[in-house]
Amino acid sequence: MPLADKASNLNSVECLPPPPKNTENFLNVNNNERKNDKMSTNSQEDDVSTEDQLTEVSTNNEKEYDLRELINEGHEKADPSQFELLRVLGEGSFGKVFLVRKIVGPDAGTLYAMKVLKKATLKIKDRVRSKNERKILADVGHAFIVRLHYAFQTPGKLYLILDFLRGGDLFTRLSKEVMFTEEDVKFYLAELALALNHLHSLGIIYRDLKPENILLDENGHIALTDFGLSKQPLDGSKTYSFCGTVEYMAPEIVNRKGHDFAADWWSFGVLMYEMLTGNLPFHGQTRQETMNQILRTKLGMPENLSPEAQALLRVLFKRNPLNRLGAGANGIEDIKVHPFFAKIDWDKLLVKEVRPPFIPAVSRDDAFYFDTEYTNKSPRDSPGGPISASSHEIFRGFSFVAPILLEHEDVAQDIQCNSSTSGLVRQFSNVGIPGVVPGNFFSEYNLSQELGRGTFSVCHLCEHKSTRKHFAVKIIDILAHDCTEEVEVLLRYGNHPNIVTLFSVYEHQNRAYLVMELLKGGELLDRILQVHKMCESEASAVMRTVIMSVAYLHEHGVVHRDLKPSNLIYASMRQTPDSLKLCDLGFAKQLRADNGLLMTPCYTANFVAPEVLKKQGYDLACDIWSLGVLLYILLSGKTPFASTPNDSPEVILQRIGAGTIDLTCGSWRNISTSVKELVQEMLHIVPDQRPRASQLLLHPWLQEQNPNDIRMTEDCGVTKEASQALRGAVNATFRAIAVPQAPANIGPVDQSKLAKRRAKDKIASS
């Protein structure tokens, strides 16, 4: 239900008179065709008027690039033969998008996205739009706008060579997460505002702002793309085309009273509202109803939004463009000083020194964020059909080479060093597991004995047939458990010396095969059972190694959520503390910066924080709790909440919920006071009171020791009965919750509520 239909006492934006009659007759917008045409823009423009066509011709005469005047000695005009087709990234009615690699020239080896359009399938207005997009992309150059590197044509096709962006688009992320936190939204909107301001400074009205046209690079920064509907009026006057995606259109576009840069700031507000709430501010059952709402409906402000967010939305949703924030004489400066952006450092933001709230996983498979429906196809650029002579004239001067590629060779070498540069016209999250390599696991490896078993998986020893090297393979039932998050985390962060390395991923018959390094030293739990309890020197070295890996994950916005001794394995048979590696990231979750509490509980009984049990959610502090439990076991040889193997789940959960621990009896009498205080801090019942992982590394007891100075605990001849009792006590805590809850199963984007809502719109409007 649209928010406008809710309680009437909510705040609203100012209104204008009702829309003109027969507005529907003017509409020629293909509304929200987000999945069916994955390559071409899903927003369309009315038939280009004679005035618009004359404007294009005039503008082209002013902005035309003569390639012969730009090419330096040693450089050649680009053509299809200079690019190796690697994968199909998208396909639409007008052509395809490929992942390509440049094979000649100073930028040889660089990955690009190649957008290929068939001239014969383009209507006249689409041909003008394509030429206009090329022209604008050649003009702009900004940190948050996708870069055009080459443009060229053959008799039947147009080619745009753009940044290859690996991180997907905001629509994909919004479809998975429903809505963002305000901290997320501040970051994305601030970068977007800088991009829009740059376009406006060049006299360009963007006119197609929506999540699908905002891409993320490999570091999580945005890049605005798809300029097919952008306009650059010659004299800075208004333009009257009816274009864009209807839900994002400003009132002055809907009523055809003429629009300018202010229209982009209205769409900016729509995007902000959608990111904060997961809903569109104006959304009817039909396009006509949506337009009526844009022009007349009072918009309610959700109460969960901060006062600053509500205030910004009100000034962006001014139906009179002259009163809209950003449209005044001060332009973007009025937006920068708004209280909503009070914490944004605009100078650092422009040079990308502000950490993004979300860092996409980067797989060894460059295209794992793309739909497997396309990436599994053979990359083939079929010949284009013939077109008329007049059509050839429309595309005169289409060819282009970015000036930076025409500069001195040292600049080219710098580009070559950044061959993994990100970007693309349009990206989609694939519906399968990221990083899956072609082929069958059993054709490459021999499966051997079982190494361990978990809730959703089993781990085996395996041998590579050709190299005879041994690995561990984790076999996961993907019908019972979505391992997408685990694979993404391992692919991106497995390079840390104390996190297990993932080498390859296979998928076969509803099972995923994760081939990882073989850790031969045994579990930390086995070491604990061997010595019963560790001396402080070894325990300190072990905890420092573990905390360093956890701090690394936390620094990159990842929470492990299942820290326990059996998930820490020694790589070395000598069981030295520095050889410990964190493994089994099956419950790991990539978090957003300052995103608050997670609401997808996943835990192992004795290592779970109280707020999880109380269903209040948990954040990074939950891992600190688990580390505190681990430290308690290392020093005392006991679990803090389960005394015997026979303790019932109810008793264990009651003890955890109380948050009380005993640090006075038994071996604790001989433990230093600073360690006891550290354990109490880590097991504090209030999450905010627990130290962060980075703060723990500064604790005097956890300071780095010289490897030669670490005193290893001697085997004290623990009886079999005592070892079994300790293992049983640990296992009892794991059984406290009979059915561990898996993380949220994130399915295909097209099955999300957001995508289904927009698909419904498309059907209703067709």
Which residues does the annotation mark as catalytic?
Answer: 208, 562
Residue 733 phi/psi, 5° resolution?
-65, -35
Spatial distance between the Cα atoms of 74 and 105, rounded to a whole number of angstroms: 8
- With vertex at residue 282, the alpha carbon angle to CA 279 and CA 288, rounded to the nearest 5 degrees, is 135
Spatial distance between the Cα atoms of 171 and 212, rounded to a whole number of angstroms: 5
Confirm if 294 and 317 have CB atoms less than 8 A apart: no
Bridge-based pairing state of the strands 222-224 and 214-216: antiparallel
CA atoms within 13 A on the CB side of 167: 24
Confirm if 538 and 570 have CB atoms less than 8 A apart: no
Instruction: Supply 324's token pair.
Output: 């809209």
- With vertex at residue 531, the alpha carbon angle to CA 525 and CA 532, rounded to the nearest 5 degrees, is 75
DSSP single-letter state for residue 304: T
Closest CA to 656 of 644, 642, 636, 635: 642
Instruction: Supply 179's token pair.
Output: 């809505």
Instruction: Supply 360's token pair.
Output: 């996409």
Residue 287 phi/psi, 5° resolution?
-65, -35
What lies within 8 Å, CB to CB, of 326 at 6+ separation is 193, 261, 262, 264, 265, 268, 316, 332, 334, 335
Place of tokens 């800088």: 194
Confirm if 102 and 82 have CB atoms less than 8 A apart: yes
Place of tokens 């053509």: 79
Spatial distance between the Cα atoms of 187 and 82, rounded to a whole number of angstroms: 38
Spatial distance between the Cα atoms of 79 and 151, rounded to a whole number of angstroms: 9
Spatial distance between the Cα atoms of 442 and 625, rounded to a whole number of angstroms: 40
As to burial, measured by CB atoms within 10 angstroms (0-12 exposed, 13-18 middle, 19+ buried), residue 455 is: middle
Spatial distance between the Cα atoms of 168 and 89, rounded to a whole number of angstroms: 11
Give CA 117 to chain center in angstroms: 28
Instruction: Supply 193's token pair.
Output: 């505002």
The residues facing 460 across adjacent strands are 450, 473
Q: Which helix (H) or strand (E) holds 542?
A: helix 536-555
Spatial distance between the Cα atoms of 225 and 566, rounded to a whole number of angstroms: 47
Instruction: Look at the chain and count its residues.
Output: 766
- With vertex at residue 634, the alpha carbon angle to CA 633 and CA 637, rounded to the nearest 5 degrees, is 55
The residues facing 504 across adjacent strands are 515
Confirm if 412 and 109 have CB atoms less than 8 A apart: no
CA atoms within 13 A on the CB side of 707: 7
Place of tokens 């060894």: 364
Confirm if 553 and 359 have CB atoms less than 8 A apart: no
Spatial distance between the Cα atoms of 310 and 294, rounded to a whole number of angstroms: 18
Spatial distance between the Cα atoms of 247 and 451, rounded to a whole number of angstroms: 54
Place of tokens 């509980």: 601
581-606 exposure pattern, b = at least 16 Cβ within 10 A, e = fewer: bbbbbbbbbbbbbebeebeebbbbbb
